[in-house]
Amino acid sequence: MKMLKTRWPVVLMALFLCVGITACGNGTGGDAESGTDEGDTTSAEAESPDTTEEGSSEESVASTGADTSDTTSNEEPEALSLDRVTMAADNGDFMDSLIWSTADARYWPELGFTEPVEATVTQDFVAGLVGGSAWVVQGENNLFWSAMAEGSVPMRSIGVHMDGEAWILGIDEDVDPANLEGLKITGGSPGERNETIGREILTELGFDPDNVEWITVPGGPEERFRALAADQVDMAVLQPELEGLLEDIGGEFIYDEMRVIPQAGWAVTAETMENNRDAVCAFVEGQLAARQWLSEGPDRTANQDEAVELAAEYGLEPTEGDLKEWGNFLGDVLSVDGGSPAPSFDEWTEQMALQGLVPD
């Protein structure tokens, strides 16, 4: 269910100024504007999450000393205005972390970053950008766009991280899908995109989303699944890779659709964009290269074994669900070229306006 004919390589909205990937050049090869769904190749890098207490909202990622000497050129890369990628992200699951670890191991050093990435997983990623603990952030676009619309944060969107959005509602084994009124549900934290998805799904299923009890569960889909498995909630907004685990405890997906929506992206401050444009462009170029390398092959698994070995150097280990959904994630959820179909931006903006997150 992809619209591939017209794609915007980066977010081009009248809502805010944005950075065209084409302005950065194509460095290591790969066409950021190809609009194709497979085979575009560019470059990227990052680092590995430390283990923290389950349910914590933040994980610091320190250098693991992984070998980042895989370069394609004998020439010394030109020095950048920033020596490392310092990044904050709202999701630390394996597939998200795989992308930046691939970028760090294979591409960013040859693009000029001389130090290992410093990555932090936190729900307060915008605060990290504003406070200076990270110069680039990856997270839900609704938070970026609302901040930019109200003018509270001088931010610039620099690309799309994910343009496929899984709309999935999972229920516990004792839940009657025909009778959801009054039950407990989680879509994460209040105001997050997944709560909006949960409300929309309930509406489409014929239920009033205000007649259920919304439970706050900080973190990502794995935390929401754990809440469901622990009987803290009766239903949860989940992701495809969790279907097997849900079935193991007797639950099921009662709604499962993929929508084309520029749901998540990258952003920097206006000051960083002005003063460190070379580093911003190198970050994007490396990200795209990692995504395109990870997506090679007819079923997008040509480099899977090598990628899993690489991720292990960063302390990352995939679940069975991650491996099962590998091709679907890279093909349907992840934006391989840093863009999204042009009509999807209109739909997204309309949804944000209805929620009062951006001006009408």
pLDDT digits (tens, 9 = 90+) for 260-287: 989 899 999 999 999 999 999 999 999 9
Question: Final residue of a domain: which of 258, 278, 299?
Answer: 258
Considering the domain architecture, whether residues 114 and 68 belong to the same structural domain is answered as yes
Considering the domain architecture, whether residues 122 and 57 belong to the same structural domain is answered as yes
Residue recorded with tokens 């490392």: 84
Dihedral sign computed on CA atoms, order 8, 167, 196, 287: negative
Considering the domain architecture, whether residues 178 and 239 belong to the same structural domain is answered as yes
Half-sphere exposure in the Cβ direction for 136 (13 Å, CA) = 27
Rg, Å, the chain Cα set = 20
> Does some domain include residue 24?
yes
Question: Final residue of a domain: which of 240, 258, 276?
Answer: 258
- Which of 25-39, 61-75, 151-165, 170-184 has the lowest average pLDDT? 25-39
> Does some domain include residue 46?
yes
Considering the domain architecture, whether residues 136 and 276 belong to the same structural domain is answered as yes
Q: Which domain holds residue 92?
A: 7-165+261-354
Please choose, from the candidates 45, 46, 44, 48, the residue with its C-alpha nearest in 3D space to the C-alpha of residue 316. 48
* Mean pLDDT along residues 76-99: 91
Considering the domain architecture, whether residues 29 and 126 belong to the same structural domain is answered as yes
Q: How many domains does the chain have?
A: 2
pLDDT of residue 337 exceeding 90, the answer is yes
CATH number of the domain that 230 lies in? 3.40.190.10
Considering the domain architecture, whether residues 338 and 316 belong to the same structural domain is answered as yes
Cβ pair 154, 273 in contact under 8 A:
no
**Mean of all residue pLDDT scores within the chain:** 80
Considering the domain architecture, whether residues 123 and 63 belong to the same structural domain is answered as yes
Considering the domain architecture, whether residues 146 and 294 belong to the same structural domain is answered as yes
> Does some domain include residue 333?
yes
